[in-house]
Amino acid sequence: MDVIGAFCGLVILSPLLLGITLYLFFTMEMKPFFFQRRTGIHGKYFTLIKFKTMKDDSGNDGGMTNKDRITKFGAFLRNTSIDEFPQLLHVVKGDMSLVGPRPLLPEYLPLYSETQRRRFEVLPGITGWAQINGRNTITWAQKFTYDVWYVDHLGFLLDMKILFTTIFKMFSGQDINNSEQQTMPKFNGSN
């Protein structure tokens, strides 16, 4: 069902995806996509793709904040979660699911507690229980609690609830962090 849903989503959204890709190609120095290594099921690595929302940090000391680097169009893509749409390709490929814990950076692997590692028992998702319960406005501890709760309760009806709530939140703009950082702070491990 994930693959069929993602494939249908790609077909339906293809005009929008193509338009955004072309716009970013011409406004982001011919780099419309952002690629980053992430951890998937069982801690295996894969390269995540998103629409690029930030300018490259061209400062010599790399001192630009995320808020300085994000473009106006990039902020719109992030606030509506449209920057995540290219990840439908990962669902078709089998690296991700439509719903599951968000894939995080490999550098966090040694920092998880045994309980937090349970998030790797399922495929990572484009959206998840933590995303509809606070997104990037909640703490890392809350996020991992939601991720493990999802692993323990996953099922078709829960996934449908998460998908429909995600669509509502995309259009309402709820749970968006507009702080200086614009993204979650780095995870430094649990106490």
Q: Cα–Cα distance between 40 and 121 in angstroms, integer? A: 9
**What is the dihedral angle through the alpha carbons of 172, 174, 177, 182, rounded to the nearest 10 degrees?**
-40
Query: Which tens digits make up the pLDDT trace of 54-77?
Result: 988 765 555 677 777 899 999 999
Query: Which tens digits make up the pLDDT trace of 1-60?
Result: 899 999 999 999 999 999 999 999 999 989 999 999 999 999 999 999 999 999 887 655
Residues 6+ positions from 142 with CB-CB distance below 8 Å? 130, 133, 134
Containing 24, the helix (H) or strand (E) segment is helix 2-27
Supply the pTM of this predicted model. 0.86
